[in-house]
Amino acid sequence: MTPTVVLPVIVGGLYAAGVYLLLDRSLTRVLLGFLLLGNATNLLVLSAGGPAGFAPILGYSEPEEMTDPLPQALILTAIVITFGVSAFVLAMIHRSWRLVHQEVVGTDEEDRRVAARSATDADELDPDDLDPEDRAAGHADSLHTPDGDDMGVDDVDLPAGTGAR
C-alpha cells in the first residue's frame, strides 16, 4: 500500500491548467479547459479507488488483489457524460460562430443597460430617492409632470458608452 505521488501531481496540474483555460473568454479555450478539468476529475476518482491491482474478474484473481471496480464504473459514466456535453458545447460554439462570427462569452446587454442607467440617473437626479427607476418619464405617478429630458439616457438597449453620449 504505497501511495503514489504521480497521480495527485497530474491531477493538480490538470486542474490548474483547466481552470486557467476556463477563465478565458474564447469559447474554444473554455471547452479545452473543461476537457482538462473532466480528465482531472476522472483521475481523481481513479486515485480514490486505491492502489492498482489485478482486473476485478471473479476466478481471475483473488479478491484481495483486485482493483476496486466501482470508481472505474463511475469514471466510465462520467466519461460518457463529459463526451456528450463536449459535443453539445462544440455545437454551440459553431452556432455562435455562424450567427455572429464570434466565439467568445457574450456580454449580458440588459445587465449593462441596467448598470448604465442607474449610474447616469444618480448623476443627474436626486440621489435621495430610493429607486432611480421610478424617476424615469412616463409612469403612473408622473401624470402631471411633462416627460423630462432624462428619457434620453433612460432608453432602450443602449450600452454604457452610447447611453451617456
- The least distance separating other proteins from the CB of residue 60, rounded to whole angstroms, comes to 19
**In Å, how far from its chain's centre is CA 152?**
35
Rounded to 10°, the helix 27-48/69-100 angle is 180
Of 65 and 147, the one with the shorter C-beta distance to other proteins is 147
Residues 5 to 44 in contact with other proteins, rule: CB under 8 A: 22, 27, 30, 34, 37-38, 41, 44
Of 120 and 136, the one with the shorter C-beta distance to other proteins is 136
What span, in angstroms and rounded, lies between the C-alpha atoms of 54 and 56?
6
User: Does 79 sit near other proteins (CB under 8 A)?
Assistant: no
User: Does 138 sit near other proteins (CB under 8 A)?
Assistant: yes
H or E segment and range at residue 22: helix 6-22
Using a 10 angstrom Cβ sphere, with 0-12 exposed, 13-18 middle and 19 or more buried, the burial of residue 18 is buried
Report the residue from 118, 119, 124, 125 that binds other proteins according to the rule CB under 8 A.
118
Grid cell digits, residue 18: 483547466
Sign of CA dihedral 122, 125, 131, 135: negative
User: Does 108 sit near other proteins (CB under 8 A)?
Assistant: yes
Grid cell digits, residue 44: 481523481
User: Does 129 sit near other proteins (CB under 8 A)?
Assistant: no
User: Does 133 sit near other proteins (CB under 8 A)?
Assistant: yes
Q: Residue 73 CB: number of other CB atoms within 10 A?
A: 10
Which residues bind to other proteins, rule: CB under 8 A?
A: 22, 27, 30, 34, 37-38, 41, 44-45, 47-50, 70-71, 74, 77-78, 81, 84-85, 88-89, 92-93, 95-96, 99-102, 105-112, 114, 116, 118, 131, 133-134, 136-141, 143, 147, 151-152, 155-163, 165
